[in-house]
Structure 1
Amino acid sequence: MKSVSDDLWSIIDVFTGLPGRVDGFPLVVLDFQEPEQLSDLLNKHDVGKRNAQAIT
């Protein structure tokens, strides 16, 4: 998560430096609860994806 103003946040992909996306929508200018929950969800999804790739 990256603060873009006092109360707004964006979720930035640490590998690309670009805003994270869900269903094609960039995760930018979100209030605090949204990015925290979305960031947790995206991190869990990424870990699952990486584990699946390591198995195959």
Structure 2
Amino acid sequence: MPQRYGIEETPEGTWDIVDVFTGLPVVEDGVPLIDMPIEEADDLVGLLNRRDREQRGMNGI
């Protein structure tokens, strides 16, 4: 099962979190998750993917 969220590097060298199914930047609580340092983006994408698996009832996958 593919992960729902991924990170993409911007031309400026920062990172955006994107929904890999739509290709669009993720917006969380009205805040677009864009222009982040790699460490922050990596941490957040892990949390978002974990939450997505839990919401789909796929904890063991």
Q: TM-score range by the shorter chain?
A: 0.7 to 0.9
Q: Which amino acid aligns with 1:10?
A: D
1:34 match: 40
Per the normalisation by structure 1, the TM-score is 0.80
The structure having more radius of gyration, on CA atoms, is 1
CA RMSD, aligned part only?
1.5
More strand by share: 2
Post-superposition, which runs of at least 4 consecutive aligned residues in structure 1 deviate over 3 A? none
Shift of 1:17: 1.2
Q: Give the letter for the 2:42 counterpart.
A: E
- Unpaired runs of at least 5, structure 2: 1-6
Q: What are the superposed Cα offsets for residues 3-56 of structure 1, whole Å, 9 maximum, x if unpaired? A: 00363000010112110122111111111111000000000010011117xxxx
Which structure's residues are more often helix, by fraction? 1
How many residues are aligned here? Answer: 52
**Which of 37, 53, 56 is equivalent to 1:50?**
56
**Identity percentage of aligned residues:** 38
Q: TM-score, normalised by structure 2?
A: 0.75
